[in-house]
Amino acid sequence: MSIKMSNPFETYKFNRSGKSVTNRAVLAALTNKQSSNDGILSDNEINWLTRRAKGGFGIITTGAAHVSKDGQAWEGELGVFDDIHIERLNVLADSVHSYDSLILAQLFHGGMHSPQKLTGNTPLSASKVRSEVSESGFARPASEEDIDRIIDDFTSAAVRCVQAGFDGIELHGAHGYLISQFLGTKTNMRKDQWGGDRKNRERFLIKIFQAIKNNVPDSFIVGVRISPEINKIGIGLDDSILLAGDLRDEGVDYIHLSCWDSFGHSRDYPDDPKTLTEWFVQSCDDLPPIISTGGVWSSVDAQNLMRQGADLIGVGRVGIAHPDWANHLSNADYDPDRPPFTVAQLSEAQLSDVFIDYMRKWEGFVAD
């Protein structure tokens, strides 16, 4: 299979929606804990995302935003579960658009990772599974009514993003949250239409996608982020590649591969030299655009990831510390400083005290 070669600083157009991006740099969704208690965007969160748009990122993605009150997974998390959120989301959209970047909201539900002490509800999941944030020690299995409600919640959240002037949304099907709990064989032991074989385990995600597509304009981007492998919950590479093909057939606008290390190899096939991105693009024909995220730091890294077959380059940590990262991608020798970073450096990069404090949990990132 031939790999189409492009440069990270070239423009890109999403064929179905017609949306164009100024370059291939994507600020991936990042937990930052800067939203208000009711999920409304704070000035700090708007400022930090806008600063990355000013720094040249073609696509800005919000942090994970819960679509249901019972889907919140941490304090300071962005919400899109109510119309009260629209006004500030619109402020963010206008601010990001002023720098010609696209703005996407990452929509999610924490499932078994939504703390009972935070939501007031017993966490739910695809099946009864252990949950460290449930008072009973277990998440309860989602009922048919729960599933229908949450599909509606995802759809309503996407419509709010349309009303707020966003360019699209990304469904968070990665990292062990609710959508991936339905995908995983170790978290989904259901015997009904929502569990069992691969197609049934995909059904929750597919139904969410279909419902959103039926309620948003054709110009609105709808992408999906997945983890290629999560052994702990029973997500394997083979099923993830087949899922990518099914998402392609549904008309998804892009697939975002959350690789953690884009240059590492499959844990399911450790002796195979292919990277995770190469597994997807070489195993599945006519895939939608691929965003690949994990471990990219320099312009050489970005170019190498595109050689693997990625269409767009997602970054997290380097975008936190270096808001102008995207503007330097045309410099073939660009290799910005790496952690640790001082509080002064992170403050200058438009991180609030709350965000900096959260980053202290990332070993070696903040120099105190």
What number does CATH give the domain 12-336? Answer: 3.20.20.70
Sequential DSSP letters for 334-346: -----S-EEHHHH
Residue 181, burial from CB neighbour count under 10 angstroms (0-12, 13-18, 19+): buried
Could you tell me which of 343, 344, 342, 346 has the C-alpha nearest to residue 321? Answer: 346
Kindly state the tokens that stand for 227: 């983890």
Cβ atoms of residues 23 and 11 within 8 Å: yes
Q: Above 80 in pLDDT, residue 205?
A: yes
Question: Does residue 1 have a pLDDT over 50?
Answer: no
The pLDDT tens digits for 132-178 are 999 999 999 999 999 999 999 999 999 999 999 999 999 999 999 99
pLDDT of residue 4: 54
Residue 5 confidence class, pLDDT cut points 50, 70, 90:
low
Mean residue pLDDT of the chain comes to 97
Give the tens place of pLDDT for each residue, 33-71.
Answer: 999 999 999 999 999 999 999 999 999 999 999 999 999
Residue percentage of the chain with pLDDT more than 70:
99
**Token pair in block for residue 258:** 């959350």
Query: How many Å apart are CA 286 and CA 13, to the nearest integer?
Result: 16
Task: Name which of 239, 223, 238 is nearest 312 in CA terms.
Answer: 223
CA angle, residues 336, 339, 343, in degrees to nearest 5 = 105
The Cα–Cα gap between 212 and 87 comes to: 21
CA–CA distance from 157 to each of 98, 164, 213, 258, 362 (Å)? 24, 11, 12, 23, 30
Q: What is the pTM of this model?
A: 0.97
Query: Please, which pLDDT band fits residue 2 given cuts at 50, 70 and 90?
Result: very low
**Which residue shows structure tokens 């601010």?**
95
Residue 263 has pLDDT above 60, yes or no: yes
Short-list 39, 35, 67, CA closest to 49:
35
Residue 368 pLDDT = 84
β-sheet bridge partners, residue 61: 104
Q: Residue 238, CB half-sphere, CA atoms under 13 Å: how many?
A: 5
